[in-house]
């Protein structure tokens, strides 16, 4: 008899309880993700206080910040800004090589 079978037979842990715990764990992970995204959204929102020159120094434009703030709660706005900065960097590099 395997260890898992012995635990189930002893009544310490029933398989249906494990399924419930897995669902609770998934729910907790989802809540944690939404919470992190909300915190990140507040941090990205502070970027709207910067002027266009300061935003250009970090490689983004104001439209990128506004677009990042319009993503859903399940999406990380910081990831949107990272992608936008990468696009701007590749465009700047492409123009310099021409």
HSE toward the beta carbon, residue 82, CA cutoff 13 A: 6
Q: What is the pLDDT of residues 39-73, one digit of tens each?
A: 999 999 999 999 999 999 999 999 999 999 999 88
Q: What is the pTM of this model?
A: 0.66
Cα dist. 18→5, 9, 22 in Å? 14, 14, 6
Task: Yes or no: say if 84 and 67 are a contact pair by the CB < 8 Å rule.
Answer: yes
Distance, in Å, from the CA atom of 50 to the CA atom of 70, rounded to the nearest integer, reads: 18
Closest CA to 59 of 93, 79, 95, 86: 86
Average pLDDT of 73-94?
90
Average pLDDT of 19-47?
87
């Amino acid at each position: 008899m395997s260890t898992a079978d012995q635990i189930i037979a002893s009544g310490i842990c029933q398989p249906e309880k494990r399924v419930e715990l897995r669902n609770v764990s998934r729910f907790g992970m989802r809540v944690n993700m939404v919470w992190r995204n909300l915190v990140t959204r507040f941090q990205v929102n502070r970027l709207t206080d910067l002027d266009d020159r300061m935003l250009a120094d970090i490689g983004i434009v104001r439209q990128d910040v506004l677009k990042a703030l319009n993503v859903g709660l399940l999406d990380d706005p910081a990831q949107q800004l990272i992608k936008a900065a990468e696009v701007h960097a590749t465009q700047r590099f492409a123009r310099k090589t021409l």
